[in-house]
Amino acid sequence: MTDRSEIYDQVVAQIAPFNKKGVKLSEGTTFAGDLEWDSLTVMDFVAAIEDEFDIIISMNMQAEIETVGQLVDAVVKLRG
């Protein structure tokens, strides 16, 4: 079982190619506000996360995820 800190590190690594502004990442970093991602970037990123962790993130769940920390929690939950 992968622990939360390892999943956080993997998520941060997945964000890197999408982090065009070089924003310093933390648990509270928001995708829309801090990273300024548009919907297309979000869709590409979600696909990368789903591939990386072999999970499916539902549209309802995506709508609730606003920060890096929330995404890490969702991955932990989905990998259960």
Give the model's confidence band at 54: pLDDT under 50 very low, under 70 low, under 90 confident, else very high.
Answer: very high
Spatial neighbors of 73 by CB under 8 A, at least 6 apart, are 4
pTM exceeding the 0.85 threshold for the entire prediction = yes
Is the per-residue pLDDT at 60 higher than 70? Answer: yes
9, 18, 52 from 49: Cα distances, Å: 12, 12, 5
* CATH number of the domain within which 35 lies: 1.10.1200.10
The residue segments making up the domain with residue 54 are 4-79
28, two tokens: 């509270």
Q: Which amino acid is at 11?
A: V
Question: Tens digit of pLDDT for each residue in 20-48?
Answer: 999 999 999 999 999 999 999 999 999 99
Give the model's confidence band at 80: pLDDT under 50 very low, under 70 low, under 90 confident, else very high.
Answer: confident
Among residues 65, 47, 42, 21, the alpha carbon closest in space to that of 74 is found at 65
When divided into structural domains, the chain yields a total of 1
